[in-house]
Amino acid sequence: MDYGVREPTRLGRTRIPDGRLLGWAEWGPADGTPVLLCPGAATSRWLGFGGDVLGPAGVRLISVDRPGLGASDPAPGRSLTDWAADIRHLLRERALHAPSAVGFSQGAPFALALAVDGLVSAVAVVSGSDELAHPRFAHSLPPQMREMVDAVAADAEAAEASFAGFGSADRLWDLVITTSTGADRAVYTDPVFQRAFRRAMDEAFSQGPAGYARDTVLAMGRWPFDPARIPVPVDLWYGQQDTSPVHSPDLGESLARMIPTATRHLLPAAGGSLLWTHAEAVLRTLLAHVR
């Protein structure tokens, strides 16, 4: 089956004012409507989505490696606020005007941080990680997630070192496969998809595990922004068959209540891989906000 995975059309790195380089990949027409992709955990710019619909939809998809992953230089101690500042510079340097954003899995808080800063015109959160450290999840997290959240709250530096010790492409691949439903495993282990997914993971760890570890600390801690302040449309996409412990424990239900501009889409037959199984619907809904 074709899950819309394609080789990037364009690859590059952009220097921002502090001298660091941010790596990026693009798909779709160069003059298309810009959509920024904030990838999931432990992946990089190499894994896009919707390759079969980007051209007809007129979408220029741009995936940006977060600092320390893939082709982006590290920024030790970075925050979600720093990420928004990096993207502000990237947008200016590359003349990307009024993009929208897609945040997949652990990329969700990074996409929402861009919305809070007014850098994007709309956001699609797909199988997104929620603010797991928020008190509303105090009694609903699986034990392993509760331990990770508590570890970050108690000593973020020690937790980051622990995550770095665990982080590798092989271990994260095994975690994805063992925590997925059969339907999601069918997507992830499709030969074409698996090759692209594993390549993205291998590149994510090409500088070592520090970038992954920092991302995980940010994902497991409190967000430095109030979701209620997000001024742009936010579509929350979740599959009812999603069993990943790192995504939203209530499949976005409480997050939809916290974001006044949010619309929740709960797909009964979909799983965590819906970015690739329902790419056209995600993009069509996103574009309706910005065109």
pLDDT of residue 253: 97
Domains and CATH numbers, the chain: 10-290 (3.40.50.1820)
pLDDT value at 291 more than 90: no
Tell me the residue ranges of DSSP E strands in 50-174: 59-64, 100-104, 123-126
pLDDT in tens, 35-77: 999 999 999 999 999 999 999 999 999 999 999 999 999 999 9
What amino acid occupies position 158?
A
pLDDT of residue 1: 81
pLDDT of residue 232: 97
The pLDDT confidence band at residue 107, using thresholds 50, 70 and 90, is very high
This prediction has a pTM of 0.97
Q: Do 242 and 127 meet the contact criterion of CB atoms below 8 Å apart? A: yes
What amino acid occupies position 258?
M
Q: CA-CA distance, 187 to 194, in Å (whole number)?
A: 8
What amino acid occupies position 106?
Q
Cβ neighbors of 32 (< 8 A, separation 6 or more) are: 54, 57, 58, 59, 60
pLDDT in tens, 132-189: 999 999 999 999 999 999 999 999 999 999 999 989 999 999 999 999 999 999 999 9
Q: Do 278 and 266 meet the contact criterion of CB atoms below 8 Å apart? A: no
pLDDT value at 210 more than 80: yes
108, containing H or E segment: helix 108-116
pLDDT of residue 290: 86
Supply φ then ψ for residue 33, to 5 degrees: -65, 120
